[in-house]
Structure 1
Amino acid sequence: MKFSVVITTYNRLNLLKRAINSALEQAIECEIIVVDDCSTDGTEEYVKSFGDRLTYYRTTSNQGHAATMNIGVQNAQGDWIKPIDDDDYLAPNCLEEMTKVITLHPESVILSCQAAQVDINEVEISRTRKTGPGTAFYISQEDVHYGMLLELVPFGTTIQVAFRRDAFLECGGWDTNLTSCDDIDSWVRITDLGDAIFINKCLVFRTVWSGGYDQKIPIQKRCDTNILMKEKIYARVNKKHKNFIPDISNIRRYMNLHWGMIAVKQKQFLTALNILLPAAFYPQAWLIFLEAIFSRKKLKKKQIYGSRF
């Protein structure tokens, strides 16, 4: 089994250098691909200076995040893909630890791990919570969408996740029509094809800063797109779980509460009011919201985890 690291970038050379170094410093050999979305900041010259240690692709015009990832995966030689946005980076043992657990459960098509959220100076702000049994465990395909819907397992940002190349290609890759959640949309479809793994180790670092791509998208649009993701997941939940999930209307309202509170924290009060109003008077939506905050209490009600490794 071989990993390909696919790094997508656009005009962030200083941050890209860190992402590339983190791939070069991996404890196991891997292919490293950089896909440049037509940068104008010297990215091409820098990447090409590594010679055949890196494979470089450049778009002829700015095509967006999803398109650049698709180019990288289509041209990769590895069985598994570790995607990286240029402002994020890997721990030196990331691919080694991922390889170990994939070997133990080859039926998996996707995995996620703990991530440390860091500021622009690499100071840790927070960390993805631990969940489930042991250092690593799997979730069967028939259970994974239930877990994703109720946020029992963190399958989130690009840097947390690795996936099997053939599954990515079979499900159509990243949707270039999406300006956010293009990664999560792909996770939802990849998990139609096999089991998932979660690793309770911090193997990656996600930079939270004002220049992040998601920070440029209006909160209302981010809310609407995340609701769309929930709807896609909801439609895929295995029938054995149907009696254990809230109505989709309350899932939508829960997302309104979640993103409304984010708008409040960012002092976008008019946006917050517009997002919160459709959900504020529905107790079931508040119950889902509170359960999401207080340690995912539904974990005690229904077990979805497979064997730990």
Structure 2
Amino acid sequence: MAQIKFSIAITTYNRLSLLKRAIDSAFAQTVRCEVVVADDCSSDETEEYIRSLGSSIVYHRNQSNMGHAATMNAAVNAASGDWIKPMDDDDYLAPNCIEEMTRALALRPQAVICSTQAAQVDLKQVEISRTRKTGPGKVFYIPQEDIHYGMLMEMVPFGTPIQVAFSRDAFLKSGAWDTKLDVCDDIDSWIRIAQFGDAIFINQCLAYRTIWPGGYNQKSTLEKRLDINILMKDKIYTLVSEKHRKIVPKVHVIQSYLKLHWALVALKEKKFLIVLKLCLPSVFSLGAWQLLAAAILSRKPQYYSLQKQMYTNIWIMAKLYATIGNEYRYSMPDFQNFRAYLRLRCSWNACKQGKFISAMKIAFPSVLSMPAWKLLVKSALLAQQTKKPLIRKLVLID
């Protein structure tokens, strides 16, 4: 643990009262780490306050207002740590955040990016919600060749800067944050950093993100956020490992899914013209509806245990499917049908537990897939004939 040096890199602009809380949380860490503040040329009393703290903080001030991405790049350049923990000035850390990240990284030196759970809070620090758990156990890693497939299918969401830490070397190799982006500049960076090593996820709430009207994510229109999301998915798609290429949805299906997602966001905000604009023609894509249903259900905590088992099974099936030789491909169903079959089987398990609403939500829209029903019937008949499971136990090596 002592061999990994962390720098906490805080970006700020005219939010001194919130910045003080962020700095206090950095100083309160249970392991020593460097604290860097990059100031995007604030016009309030930020500079005077930071300079009053003396040498306890590394301070950089932009000569002009350059934007969020450029300020984060300046913070990383000013830092000396092996690993960078980025922060926006309106967020803050749990006292043991860096300690837990350091402990996890010591177990997987090949990692270049690490993410943790975060609580979303209001300005009074009252918890509103919490990001979902990802994968099994308290800490686990994902090999580099599987990261972009997981990101594309939204199985491995890294989250916002307050959740993530990254290797400084990998950050510099990736080309730093794109200053042309004012939305998703962080996600764009995670995509590129993940080319250089493994990813670690910590299923423990170690960070706090403030949700308020002044947040950076509140400044862009829905249409712009959709366009950037599509751009991010296109970038991820090009980086998916060859072993997953044959099982990923088509690009146009993923784009249609994103349009349906943002149409729902617009519906919640009662922007009905935008809903109509985004829905057509995506509303007619069955594949897009399947991706949307999977995404919605995975975010419902009451379905988590069932969803966790189902997505673990899908993940295993994807790995197995990717290893099958081309000479056998012609005789096998498409992977989409395998995935629909697994959803039906999970839905049946929910029925046996008396969770009928969960069963219906998990089954839709896979219940419309005839090949999935054929696979379900075949597996049931085969299990009845053998009187024992075909596979006793599956162990995820990684």
TM-score range, shorter chain: over 0.9
- Equivalent of 2:30, from 27, 30, 46? 27
* 1:181-240 per-position Cα deviation (integer Å, ceiling 9, x unaligned): 100000000000000000000000111111111101111001100110001001111111
Percent identical among aligned pairs is 59
Aligned to 1:301: 314
For 1:94 and 1:165, the matched residues in 2 are separated by: 18
SS of equivalent residue, structure 2 residue 112: strand
8 Å CA contact 2:114–2:166 kept in 1: the answer is yes
Counterparts of 1:207 and 1:37, CA distance in 2: 20
Q: Which has the higher strand share?
A: 1
Query: Secondary structure in 1 aligned to 2:270?
Result: coil
Would the aligned equivalents of 2:229 and 2:258 in 1 still touch at CA under 8 Å?
yes
Q: How many residues align?
A: 308
Quick one: which amino acid aligns to residue 315 of structure 2?
A: K
Conserved? CA contact 1:128–1:154, under 8 Å: no
Deviations 1:94-146 (A, max 9, x none): 00000001011000000111111111211111111112121100000000001
Q: Helix, strand or coil for the counterpart of 1:163?
A: strand
Matched, 1:280 2:283: yes
Contact map agreement 1:137 1:306 (CA 8 A) in 2: no
Select 1:204's aligned residue among 199, 202, 207: 207
Quick one: structure 1 residues 220 and 211, their matched pair in 2 at CA, closer, same or farther if it must change by over 3 Å? Answer: same
Whichever residue aligns with residue 71 of structure 2, its letter is T
In structure 2, distance between residues paired with 1:209 and 1:40: 21
Alignment correspondent of 1:5: 8
Deviations 1:252-305 (A, max 9, x none): 111111111111112222222222223111111011000111126544212379
Partner of residue 194, structure 1? 197
| Distance across 1 between alignment mates of 2:281 and 2:232 | 18
2:217 is matched with which residue?
Answer: 214
Query: Who is 1:117 aligned against?
Result: 120
Q: Deviations over 1:9-64 (max 9, x none)?
A: 11111111111111010000000000000111111011111111111111111100
Higher gyration radius (CA): 2
Question: Structure 1 residue 245 and structure 2 residue 248: aligned?
Answer: yes
Are 1:139 and 1:306, in contact at CA under 8 Å, matched by a contact in 2? no
> How far did 1:307 drift?
5.8
CA-atom RMSD, angstroms? 1.4
Q: Which amino acid aligns with 1:10?
A: Y
Q: Who is 2:392 aligned against?
A: none
Amino acid at match of 1:302: W
Structure-2 residue corresponding to 1:73: 76
Query: Which has the larger helix fraction?
Result: 2
Alignment of 1:69-108 (within 5 A): 69-108=72-111
SS in 1 for 2:266: helix
Mark the runs of 5 or more structure 2 residues left unpaired by the alignment. 299-306, 320-394
1-structure distance, mates of 2:161, 2:99: 18
Contact 1:137 1:307 (C-alpha < 8 Å) held by counterparts: no
Letter in 2 for 1:52: S
Q: Which amino acid aligns with 1:240?
A: K
Indicate how the Cα distance of structure 1 residues 242 and 36 shifts in structure 2: closer, same or farther if over 3 A, else same: same
Q: Is 2:17 the partner of 1:14? A: yes
Q: Tell whether the 8 Å contact from 1:140 to 1:306 is kept in structure 2 after alignment.
A: no
TM-score of the superposed pair, with normalisation by structure 2: 0.75
Asked whether the equivalents of residues 158 and 164 of structure 2 are also in contact (C-alpha less than 8 Å), the reply is yes
Structure 1 residue 151 corresponds to structure 2 residue 176: no
Q: Which runs of 5 or more structure 1 residues have no equivalent in the other structure?
A: none
